[in-house]
Amino acid sequence: MSTTSLESISPPICRGSKELDTSAFTLKKSIWTVLLKDPKNIGLFLASYRKEALSIPRIPFIECLDKEEVPSKLLEEPGMRNRSLKAIILNDKLTVTDKDRIDSAASINYRPEMLHDVLSKECIECIDRLGGIYRIHQLVFNYDFWKAEEILKSILPDDLQGDIPTSFTKTGHLAHLNLKDEYKPYDALIGQVILDKNPSITTVVDKVNSIETKYRTFKMKVIAGDPNFMVTQRESDCEFTFDFSKVYWNSRLSTEHARLIDGFRKGSAVCDAMAGVGPFVIPAGKKGCIAFANDLNPEACKYLKQNIEKNKVGKVVTPFMLDGAEFIKQSPKLLMNYAREHTSVRVTAHPTGHSKRRKIEEIRIPHFFSDYAMNLPGSAITFVSAYIGLLSHAFPSLTKEQIKALPDYTLPIIHVYHFEKFSPTEDPEPTEDELHRRVHKKIIEQLNYKIPFERLSFHTVRKVAPTKPMFCISFELPEEVAFAK
């Protein structure tokens, strides 16, 4: 029987086990309760003496006592046998002593040995006034009670206690873990605990290798649950369905997706050169933007088309499946031809605010893109060279002045996602400004133009690893680059 304070209880230690035995995590603790025969008196007591009752997260301070925990003499009173007998769990500093265990069974009027050492005089008098009866109750903490981290901490070896792997990325019903090599021998056990402790999760996978394919996918191993990779994820008031094993998706980027979308102007034309299944373009379409979406991955393109249809943005979002650089080069001409062919589209506007009414809106098709997104942080920066001569190559029969005189002429804002990795042995560690300068140098090389550093806007998206920050670099495409020969 544990004598540990309830505040510091932990599950029994089961070191070295690679199979999960849920029965091994049961812990029992004897505590003092006060039984008030009239349930109305519970509220009266707590109104004045709540601090004298148990106050520990996840542990209720009111318990229903089993009939065997109640003196038979009390059960013989009229109406008591069929009544639900609720007791208040008292402060766990009021410990159950050996004397208490022996003597409390003999008398209905027994008082805990340490009663006056823990409870205030006024509290004891209140209990007496309300006819309270002190009873020992056994709390049972089983597998369901413990958190995932507590379970794993009791199982994993001593040398793996430093960084318990309980964090994961959730996409639909699927939990994606990134287990370090030393935890992989315990992957099935870790996966099962994650599965058990998260009711909305039915599949748990671990990444087998790093993202190295041109489609940004990775090999994964199902370590618990059903091998079902078809997920549905809600984000930015849109619903995305896709095969998680065949396309790139990172739920941790939802805030970044929303940030960029928030900057798109309603009625503008936006272009995503590495669109995936549509986390930028589909919400942009719902916002009232004209969006062109491209991805080279046939699977991503397949689900992109399905998600466009599912979210009813087919009139404003157009999918393509081309190499990213080739798509960027073709995009001005593609949009110009589209605008001349369609002029405008009529769409059902999505309700805003408290209004549920939907109205028909006419969106005029712009002739030039205002924004380009390039969310392929491992290599997107190498595609920046595709913007050299973007407008002069798209309209070779027109002069610079003629292009600038076309309707809606504007120079686009380019949003490039990029990992700026550095060596962990660098001493001193590069500052954020130094990393920005390194990125600036790479963009100059790609554009073949000395764009001033001040014209680049840097946003730190996240740190994928201590030496691998992810940035979004935004800048207006320089006229000298757009019209380069």
Binding site membership for S-adenosyl-L-methionine: which residues?
257, 295-296, 323-324, 375
Residue whose token pair is 């006592």? 65
Q: How many degrees, rounded to 5, is the angle at CA 371 between CA 365 and CA 373?
A: 125
Residue 113 structure tokens: 């040995």
- Beta 174-177 vs 203-207: how paired, if at all? parallel
> Residue 159 CB: number of other CB atoms within 10 A?
7
Query: 292 with 271: CB under 8 angstroms?
Result: yes
C-alpha–C-alpha distance, residues 389 and 465, integer Å: 36
DSSP secondary structure, 361-377, as one string: EEEEPPSS-SEEEE--T
With a CB cutoff of 8 Å and minimum separation 6, the contacts of 465 are none
Q: CA–CA separation, 99 vs 113, rounded Å?
A: 7
Neighbours of 61 (CB within 10 A): 16
**In 280-322, which ranges are E strands?**
290-294, 317-320
Please report, for residues 118, 119, 130, 131, 137, the alpha-carbon distance to residue 125 in angstroms, rounded to integers and kept in the order given. 14, 10, 9, 10, 22
Binding site as annotated, residues: 257, 295-296, 323-324, 375
